[in-house]
Amino acid sequence: MFSRYKIIILFILFPLVFSSCYTFRRTGYWQEQRPNLPEYERRAFEDYRLRVNDEIVFRLLTSDPEMSRIHGDGNVNMMNIAMNSHRIASDGTIDVPFIHRIPIEGLTLREATAVLQGHFREIVPDAVVRMSIRNRTFTVIGDVGTGVFPVYKDRLNIFQALALAGDLQLTGDRQRVTILRETDDGIQRMEFDIRPRSVIGSEFYYIFPNDIIYVRRLPASFFMPTNYAGFVGLINSTLTLFSTILIYTQLSNN
């Protein structure tokens, strides 16, 4: 009878021992290609295209004092530089004094700057426009630091974005990281494994304004201690539990 219970305990502990550790294969980034890892194709970077409700700010540089005065009295002041702030309306345009509605939805920031500068140069030939997006943020939720963070640079990548949020928890499921992205066809859901090195330069690598990054918790994380002491404690608790059950069963049979 006792031997049979020992065999049962061993069968329970065996998978527990080999499934309850956070190994490099389970949590490490930039891993070399192997059979259990997906391999992603490289994808050329595509600049973000402006969308409705994006708020753009621009600065007009010109020798014309009147135009400088009109377009210098903007709504935003950054580092003592006056700028005009405009939200892209539902029809995809911004309303600028003397020029009125200019369609810029779907354009890159560089393209939109050239369009606006072209309109200003019809009025003042030496006009130069500097434009940026004011409300460039992304959101992180799940088993990772949660919050809304700025897209502080062009070509912000997934690792830099997660670093801003404090990186994934050990219990975060690195095999199923999800990005929700607004597109012209609706919300695009992209799920990927962040561990392989091939994620660098793939379609999942760069983060755009308004992206939502979601990291779910590993289903088996309840049984996975985060350090060696926790692992030993888990084994000890399991042995104590089954020893108690075994003793109670033997006493009951007697």
The class (CATH top level) of 55-133 is alpha beta
3.40.50.150, 3.10.560.10, 3.40.50.450, 3.40.50.300: CATH of 29-47+136-221: 3.10.560.10
pLDDT given at position 82: 43
| Mean pLDDT rounded to a whole number for the chain | 82
CB contact at 8 A, 128 and 117: yes
Q: What mean pLDDT is predicted for residues 187-216?
A: 96
Asked if pLDDT for residue 201 goes beyond 60, the answer is: yes
pLDDT given at position 233: 60
Asked if pLDDT for residue 188 goes beyond 90, the answer is: yes
Higher-pLDDT residue of 3, 192: 192
Determine which helix (DSSP H) or strand (DSSP E) holds 109, and give its type and residue range: helix 109-121
Q: What are the DSSP E strand ranges found in the chain?
A: 55-61, 76-78, 81-87, 93-96, 100-103, 128-133, 137-142, 147-150, 172-183, 186-192, 212-217
pLDDT digits (tens, 9 = 90+) for 18-37: 455 668 888 899 999 899 89
pLDDT digits (tens, 9 = 90+) for 202-245: 999 999 999 999 999 987 654 555 544 555 565 666 667 666 76
